[in-house]
């Protein structure tokens, strides 16, 4: 299953709200940092491999159609190259808010 939407926005830019919106629109399940916490025993080693330059994107996002928030937003360029059909969604926030 390939990602259809890649969230490039940093945390605290409504990424959790975007997660729910994408799922409501049929682009879910959506991977979010909350997934790392919920399945840390599996996810942490996969992300450590990604940090080490050996990502297995298909395994990390197995069962997901989209992603927002950390840690994936830090790899949006790599993900866009790996999933060329995916749309990249950038969320921003007023720095003074």
d(CA 89, CA 53): 24
Q: What is the pLDDT of residues 21-77, one digit of tens each?
A: 999 999 999 999 999 999 999 999 999 999 999 999 999 999 999 999 999 999 999
Which uninterrupted H or E stretch holds 30? strand 30-31
User: Do residues 93 and 11 lie in contact, with contact meaning Cβ atoms separated by under 8 Å?
Assistant: no
Query: How confident is residue 85, by pLDDT bands cut at 50, 70 and 90?
Result: very high
Total-model pTM: 0.94
Tell me what pLDDT residue 66 has: 98
Return all residues near 97 (Cβ < 8 A) that are at least 6 apart.
none
Cα dihedral sign, 32-22-10-88: positive
Q: How far, CA to CA in Å, does 69 sit from each of 13, 14, 18? A: 8, 9, 9
User: Do residues 6 and 43 lie in contact, with contact meaning Cβ atoms separated by under 8 Å?
Assistant: no
């Amino acid at each position: 299953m390939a990602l259809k939407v890649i969230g490039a926005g940093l945390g605290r830019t409504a990424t959790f709200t975007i997660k729910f919106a994408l799922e409501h629109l049929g682009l879910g399940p959506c991977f979010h940092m909350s997934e790392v916490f919920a399945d840390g025993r599996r996810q942490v080693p996969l992300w450590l491999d990604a940090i080490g330059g050996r990502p297995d994107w298909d395994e990390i996002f197995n069962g997901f159609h989209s992603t927002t928030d950390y840690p994936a937003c830090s790899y949006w360029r790599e993900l866009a190259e790996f999933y060329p059909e995916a749309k990249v969604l950038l969320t921003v926030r007023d720095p003074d808010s």
